[in-house]
Amino acid sequence: MKERTGKLTIKGSPLTLLGEEIKVGQKAPDFTARTAFSPDTKVTLDSSKGKIRIFSVSPSLDTSVCETQAIRFNQEAAKLNDVEIYHITVDLPPAQARFCTNQLEGSAKVKMVSDYAEKSFGMNYGIIIKEWQVLSRGIFVIGKDDVVKYVEYLPEVAQLPNFDKALEAVKSLM
100 flagged as catalytic: no
Work out the percent of the chain whose per-residue pLDDT is above 90. Answer: 83
What is the side-by-side order of every strand in the sheet holding 42-44?
A: 42-44, 32-35, 111-114, 83-89, 52-57, 138-142, 148-153
pTM here is 0.95
Q: How many domains does the chain have?
A: 1
Range of the domain at 126: 3-171
* Residue of 17, 43, 57, 66 marked active site: 66
Tens-place pLDDT, residues 49-83: 999 999 999 999 999 999 999 999 989 988 998 89
Decide which of 23 and 106 is more confident: 23
pLDDT band at 106; cut points 50, 70, 90: low
CATH of the domain at 115: 3.40.30.10
